[in-house]
Structure 1
């Protein structure tokens, strides 16, 4: 049963979060505190599997708390609770890049019941995923003669000799797809990326290493609400020498630029007679419960490109958004890569692709940037000239 600590400065929201968690089966709220300092004190004395951490708090805010958790090597899942302000969005992105699992928007309705209902649905998926992971962990064998502390330090018996408990069994490894690679890399004219939970941290690692110029554009769907994708794009743009922007309706697609779908909007590719390929956004119904949706973007690109002109990468995330469109891409002769299970925060979206057996390559996170740069060398200057001319493919 997951043990949850609530860290929130507003008493009303602490109550809403606690009642929301109480509606999710097999979850135990073990503590409620009002700031990060109190949370750290609580964690020194108690076992916790998940922290719901408010972004903006007095004494010690969410970002400072997360930094201290990492400094103390307390590897506990953290879900940020954020308001819908520009400042909160910027802080939340920093928290996600530091390793917070994901974030949930604080409901802002006037109804206590409605706020609670929204939080239940938002938190349920994180808790269900955590329960699955905890079910694979076998508890350490502890006997009265061999007590252990939270950090595994043996206590001494009355004779002054340490009693050492047997080590816990190794965790069950995540299933991995076969590491297969095409003998000949494609020469793509466009690269697509789909990512969700754990994405900001993963993308940060990719773009810190990614060097341009690239002879093609990169189109990215990261599941996020409005405001947050702008903050994410701004943050990534500072880490790399290629341009990273939040896409806008009507953007002309250019090489050496990464476009992130705006939160709350689907992003699609269209071909304009005057400008070549442009991006369009819409608020059509969610697909796979997502807007933006990976499937919507990936499917929109297929009609405009010849066999082998597209390379798609599916990265860490819950659910299976992107799997169906990757199957379409695969059948059309395009290249599909998925992030390896052992380097994913959540092995959901890549697993859905790999379950279909359509991936051409499984890549560790630290190899994704080198992979994209190799694709750039394969494509060469011809691709860049096509995009600069505005003719796209």
Structure 2
């Protein structure tokens, strides 16, 4: 059942953008816009007074930026926050805001067409409902230290690749896993995170600073190498296939679409891992809305690989893991903080 009347405060310094987003919100039956604010300081004051169900905020604002808004709200009156980001640039503070407790982020509207307003309104509505439903899980988690220690791998690895799929809540979950993997990891990692293309690049750059392993967005035709972490891009779906002459695993982009989600599709990536690596595939499905990943996990399980789902208690949104569990394609359900240790122990 849909959540009714989500009382919302919008914080945005651009007058034009406030008008556009206000119009979008007012066409959503489940979202009730109760106040707007033109800067972070005014926004926090209105949140304190009105105690809304949801806050939507810009990142770059006078008096107090979006990160300050999130930190203040989470400390004094925890409320789900959705971040608005500009399409023409990627603000790295968005990831800090997610770590500070923001629920999710979306791109600001680009066009004023009816279709685009409708699409953004539907997206905001679905994220808002998940945010309010999972508000008890919204809290600041302590920062985990980067694993600077090598692990003793005394035998050949049981698996040749680790695949990770995530959506809403994924950036924080992915970061917590990557930060705890050892610098001498003997297999490659490929990650499909539902995120806009420009943010995927920024996220890969951020992760690259948080681990001794190299993190990058691969190019088409790039050879997959051990000890590397690859964030698949968002402009195409990605497969890992074998080169005919050398049998080396390489990246291939495709326009093929999948029912659950596209660009990037977890199903696409995971299905290709099943075909390329078979029973040497280790895959993890993390927090997120929807059911993307289940189809690919089914293929991995059929091929003899090992599949892991993030637990409900540790998932911000228990959608993708839940669907995979219900379809009996998961070998082990694990709390987020235990996944890195479990994965390393499998190798």
Q: TM-score, normalised by structure 2?
A: 0.87
Give 1:131 deviation, angstroms: 5.7
**Per-residue CA distance 1:9-44 (angstroms, 9 max, x = gap):** 112221222222222223221210011111111122
**Per-residue CA distance 1:299-336 (angstroms, 9 max, x = gap):** 112222243x1111000000000011111211222111
Instruction: Give, in whole Å, the separation in 2 of the partners of 1:211 and 1:259.
Output: 16
- Could you say which structure has the greater relative contact order, defined with CA pairs below 8 angstroms and 6 or more residues apart? 1
Give 1:358 deviation, angstroms: 2.3
Instruction: Give, in whole Å, the separation in 1 of the partners of 2:78 and 2:235.
Output: 31
Contact 1:287 1:295 in 2 (8 A): no
**Corresponding position of 2:307:** 336
1:238-387 superposed matches below 5 A: 238-272=209-243, 273-274=245-246, 276-285=248-257, 287-307=259-279, 309-376=280-347
**Corresponding position of 2:86:** 83
Instruction: Give, in whole Å, the separation in 1 of the partners of 2:339 and 2:213.
Output: 15
- Go from structure 1 to structure 2 and tell me whether the alpha carbon gap of 1:204 and 1:99 turns closer, same or farther (over 3 Å shift): farther
Instruction: Give, in whole Å, the separation in 2 of the partners of 1:343 and 1:226.
Output: 27
1:52-63 superposed matches below 5 A: 52-63=56-67
Contact 2:249 2:276 in 1 (8 A): no
**Corresponding position of 2:206:** 235
Contact 2:7 2:31 in 1 (8 A): yes
How many aligned positions are there? 322
- Go from structure 1 to structure 2 and tell me whether the alpha carbon gap of 1:126 and 1:87 turns closer, same or farther (over 3 Å shift): closer
Instruction: Give, in whole Å, the separation in 1 of the partners of 2:278 and 2:303.
Output: 8
Corresponding residue SS for 1:362: strand
**Corresponding position of 1:97:** 99
Corresponding residue SS for 1:40: helix
Instruction: Give, in whole Å, the separation in 1 of the partners of 2:59 and 2:275.
Output: 42
Q: Which structure has the bigger radius of gyration?
A: 1
Specify which of 64, 69, 72 is matched with residue 68 of structure 2: 64
Corresponding residue SS for 1:343: coil
Instruction: Give, in whole Å, the separation in 2 of the partners of 1:268 and 1:80.
Output: 31
**Per-residue CA distance 1:260-306 (angstroms, 9 max, x = gap):** 11122211112112471111223444542321100000111222224
Contact 1:93 1:231 in 2 (8 A): no
Contact 1:197 1:345 in 2 (8 A): yes
Instruction: Give, in whole Å, the separation in 2 of the partners of 1:292 and 1:81.
Output: 21
Unaligned runs of 5+ in 1: 137-185, 377-393
Instruction: Give, in whole Å, the separation in 2 of the partners of 1:21 and 1:208.
Output: 37
CA RMSD of aligned residues (A): 2.0
Q: TM-score, normalised by structure 1?
A: 0.77
Contact 2:273 2:300 in 1 (8 A): no
**Corresponding position of 2:123:** 122
Instruction: Give, in whole Å, the separation in 2 of the partners of 1:99 and 1:283.
Output: 35
Higher deviation after alignment, 113-122 or 272-281: 113-122
Matched, 1:21 2:30: no
Contact 1:287 1:296 in 2 (8 A): no
Contact 2:188 2:229 in 1 (8 A): yes
